[in-house]
Chains A and B, each alone.
Chain A
Amino acid sequence: MLTINKLHKSYPIGDSSLHVLKGIDLSVKEGEMVAIMGSSGSGKSTLLNIIGMLDEADEGEYILDGVPIKNLTEKKAAIYRNKFLGFIFQSFNLINYKNALENVALPLYYQGMKRKERQEKAMFHLGKVGLKDWAHHLPNELSGGQKQRVAIARALAANPKLLLADEPTGALDTKTSYEIMEFIQQLNDEGKTILMVTHEEDIANMCKRIVRLRDGVIMEDTFVEQVRAGEYV
């Protein structure tokens, strides 16, 4: 599904530069659910951003679904992002003047899908996250958990191969976090490959594999017994 070889990334800080990723090797198979952990500054978000094509590596190899991701033009990156990837952010990142349905339909718009088809599909995904009745509400009329569910529906709408989540529960209380995790686990059960960054142990334990980063290198990469979020809800 995804192969990373000797990935390096540094950010310029004034005259010097900060070496954030110092040779990451990672391989993720289809259907996996991986948590990337690490303290702040360990490079976990940078890694996720590179995987998400939101950022580019300085050195190393990144192959996504058999396609080497390198020297992409902006346009190509946009097409790949749309086709391969679904994003879930800590701060939801919904467009605040669009209602839930329109937010979910947005990636489909960029796929060039017809309006009617788009809305049907978006409604279907909203139904999947249980928000059919909230389809015409604006984000600020929704609770945090509902917003994140809209964001998940949006990430799913384009039917991506890989779902990337950056602290998806970071802005939510424990109960809502578990509800969201339950969804994500369900998606994984249905076969979606999921990669998430988190610094919460309990959330990480709900994944099937934990990759721990420290100072830009992988310290530990273990497969774990998945804790079902449903048990807590």
Chain B
Amino acid sequence: MFDIDLWREIFQSINKNRTRSLLSGFTVAFAILLFAILFGLANGLQNTFSEAFNDDANNAIFIYAGRTAKANKGLQAGRRIQFKNEDLDYVKDEFSDKVQYITARIYRNVTATFRNEKNTYNVRAVHPDHQYLEMTLMKEGRYVNQNDIENHTKVVVIGRLVEEDLFLKTTALGKYINLDGIQYKVVGIFTDEGNDNEERIIYMPITTAQRIYGNNDYIDQINLTYNPDMDYDQAIGFGRSLTDKLKNRFDVAASDQRAIRIQNMAEANKNVGQMTGALGIIILIIGFGTLIAGVVGISNIMIFIVKERTKEIGIRKALGATPRSIVSIILIESILITAIAGYFGLLIGMGVLEWAGPMLETYFIKDPSVKPSLIIGATITLIFAGAIAGYLPAKKASKIKPIVALRDD
């Protein structure tokens, strides 16, 4: 039921009592504004954290080999551990349900030439899975694939800056690049969200590298991601059993920390997770605190408004207003003011975040923003609180005998 006269009454009341309307509107707008800004800043802080670990897959485990530090099983200390293809297969088979992606890496430094341009780069020889591990984004062409692995094809995938350095303004895709005297076909160009060095890398199939550099099946490093369904503790446990099994496989002493090293992102992530969790709780407390302050503010104003309007209510009642019409006129007015003011607070808050956002990046706050749904939720909470805060006094006012209301002037 839409009662145009009721709305007319309400708009007149809002319009003619501007100070009052502005005052209550300001309280609500300010509460929402603060809420938006605080939440936005906290979100920005959280963004910075997750960003820091976003470059690589955050469920990665890196396995490095070194020299043994202790003698074990009759073997001397200082023995060099060398991973081979079979070790990769062993990990893959042994932990098939726990491994998501797995790749080997071989590192080489090469001098790359194309026509007259020349530069040195890091080469990483990898498996196709490496793309997901490193979160490499293809700009053009394709990544190393299974076919390359099987056929030892002489192809490379180069970083965006390699293309820029060597191919100048022309496109590299499909051209041949010379690495230490051997021609490779460029089949893809990638970008990476990490730093510039990440884009000065050349990827080639692992088997190609093994054939060219020594014709063996050595690998320098194994990278894998664990099954993301595992929680941090399970993942940390997986890392430990991986270490134990590999140490056993290479006859390394259990207490030897150098021969086989495993870097498990789950451990760092667990800390980050705890940090973000704590941050989340702080955000929640701040948010609720602001909201409660807003609720108290709007409640006070509603009580004041009803008090101020007591006489008017008495007059209206003497003229035949029902209690219901009294309550609705006060309530709708307060809800209207809260909703509009809340909307303004939301707009201003988002505007401030938008405007100040870029300047805050130096303070570890990235993309400070809030979901509109959250703010709308907060506004609704305030409207609700304002309605309750207004309802009780309005109800009471509607029950006062008009004569009492009229007497105090």
A interface residue numbers (CB < 8 A to B): 49, 52, 54-55, 74-75, 78-79, 81-83, 87, 89, 91, 93-95, 97-98, 102, 106-107, 109-111, 115, 154, 158
Q: Is B409 an interface residue (CB 8 A)?
A: yes
Interface residues of chain B, those whose CB is within 8 Å of chain A, are 4-5, 8-9, 12-13, 16-17, 311-312, 314-325, 398-399, 401-403, 406, 409
Q: Flag if A81 contacts B12 (CB, 8 Å).
A: no
The reply to whether B320 and A158 form a contact with Cβ atoms under 8 Å apart is yes
From A78, A97, A102, B321 is in contact (CB under 8 Å) with A78
> Is B320 a contact of A107 with CB atoms below 8 Å?
yes
Whether A95 contacts B312 by the Cβ 8 Å rule is yes
Main SS at interface, chain B: helix
Shortest distance between the CB of A222 and any CB in chain B (Å): 28
Can you list 20 A-B contacts with CB-CB less than 8 angstroms, sorted by A residue number? A54-B402, A54-B406, A78-B320, A81-B320, A82-B319, A89-B406, A91-B409, A93-B315, A95-B315, A95-B316, A97-B12, A97-B17, A98-B12, A102-B12, A106-B316, A106-B319, A109-B5, A110-B319, A111-B320, A115-B8
Could you list 19 further interchain pairs (A-B, Cβ under 8 angstroms) beyond the known A74-B399, A78-B317, A158-B320?
A49-B403, A55-B403, A75-B323, A78-B322, A78-B323, A87-B319, A91-B406, A93-B314, A93-B315, A93-B406, A95-B316, A98-B12, A98-B16, A110-B319, A110-B320, A110-B321, A115-B4, A115-B5, A115-B8
CB pair A81–B401 under 8 Å, yes or no, is no
Cβ of B403: which chain A residues have Cβ within 8 Å of it? 49, 52, 54-55
In angstroms, Cα B8 to Cα A83, docked, is 23
B319, A107: Cβ atoms closer than 8 Å: yes
Chain B residues, Cβ within 8 Å of A55 = 401, 403
A74 contacts B322, C-beta separation under 8 Å:
yes
CB distance from A178 to the nearest CB of B (A): 25
A45 → chain B closest CB, angstroms: 8
Cβ B319 vs Cβ A154 within 8 A: yes
A93 to B311, CA, bound (A): 8
Which residue on chain B has the smallest CB distance to residue A75?
A: B322
Nearest-CB residue, chain B, relative to A160: B320
From B12, B325, B398, B399, A110 is in contact (CB under 8 Å) with B325
Closest to B8 in A: A115
Residues of B within 8 A of A91 (CB): 406, 409
How far is it, in angstroms, between the C-alpha of A154 and the C-alpha of B319 when the chains are bound?
A: 9
Question: Which of A79, A87, A109 is in CB contact (< 8 Å) with B318?
Answer: A87
